[in-house]
């Protein structure tokens, strides 16, 4: 996978995704991604983007101020 920002090689890894919904902060840990070795740009595959959207939607319903979710354990 090549970095969309600088074109350098991006390696497979894991990251923590943070979504700020204003009244709620959703933190998803252990998100599989590709990370650029040059500029640290994080790239998600389409599947991961979809799953992250689902996780954020579910967290929204919980109405917690801070939701910390493990990607691997999320449905």
Contact footprint for Zn ion (CB under 5 A)? 3, 5-6, 8, 36, 38-39, 41
Count, in order, helices (H) and strands (E) of the chain.
1, 4
Cβ distance to Zn ion smaller for residue 31 or 36: 36
Residues 6 and 38: their CA atoms lie apart, in Å, by 8
What does the DSSP 8-state code read for residue 15? E
Residue 64 CB, nearest distance to Zn ion (Å)?
34
Q: How far is the CB of 42 from Zn ion (least distance, A)?
A: 10
Pick 2 or 68: Cβ nearer Zn ion: 2
Number of residues in the chain: 75
Least distance to Zn ion, CB of residue 2, Å: 8
């Amino acid at each position: 996978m090549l970095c969309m920002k600088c074109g350098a090689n991006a390696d497979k890894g894991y990251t923590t995704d943070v979504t700020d919904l204003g009244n709620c902060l959703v933190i998803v840990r252990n998100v599989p991604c590709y990370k650029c070795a040059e500029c640290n740009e994080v790239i998600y595959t389409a599947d991961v983007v979809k799953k992250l959207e689902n996780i954020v939607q579910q967290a929204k319903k919980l109405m917690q101020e801070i939701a910390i979710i493990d990607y691997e354990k999320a449905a």
